[in-house]
C-alpha cells in the first residue's frame, strides 16, 4: 500500500492576521487538514486538542476567536473554513 500524503490549504489572511493568536492559527491549520473541497470538515474538539497537544478548552477558545473573525463557522459538529 502506498503512503498517501495529506495536507491542508491554509488561507493566507489567517496566517498574516497579527491580531490572531498562534493557537488559533494552529487550530485553523489543523481544521484545514481535515477539510474537503467544499472547505467543510467535522473533527471533534478532542481530536483537534490531541493532535495539537493542548486541552479542549484551549481549542474551544481558539474556535471562538476564529469564528469572531469569520475565518471559521461552526454548526453543530460541522466546521466551514474560509
State pLDDT tens for residues 29-70: 999 999 999 999 999 999 999 999 999 999 999 999 999 999
User: Can you give the pLDDT at residue 6?
Assistant: 82
Does 81 have pLDDT greater than 70? yes
What's the pLDDT score for residue 1?
Answer: 56
Q: What is the pLDDT of residue 4?
A: 77
Q: What pLDDT score does 2 carry?
A: 67
DSSP the chain: --------PPPHHHHH-TTS-HHHHHHHHHHHHH--TTSEE---HHHHHHHHT--HHHHHHHHHHHHHTTSEEEETTEEEE-
Amino acid at each position: 500500500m502506498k503512503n498517501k500524503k495529506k495536507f491542508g490549504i491554509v488561507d493566507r489572511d489567517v496566517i498574516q492576521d497579527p491580531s490572531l493568536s498562534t493557537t488559533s492559527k494552529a487550530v485553523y491549520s489543523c481544521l484545514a487538514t481535515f477539510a474537503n473541497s467544499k472547505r467543510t470538515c467535522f473533527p471533534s474538539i478532542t481530536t483537534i486538542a490531541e493532535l495539537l497537544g493542548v486541552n479542549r478548552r484551549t481549542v474551544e477558545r481558539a474556535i471562538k476567536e476564529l469564528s469572531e473573525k469569520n475565518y471559521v463557522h461552526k454548526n453543530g459538529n460541522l466546521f466551514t473554513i474560509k
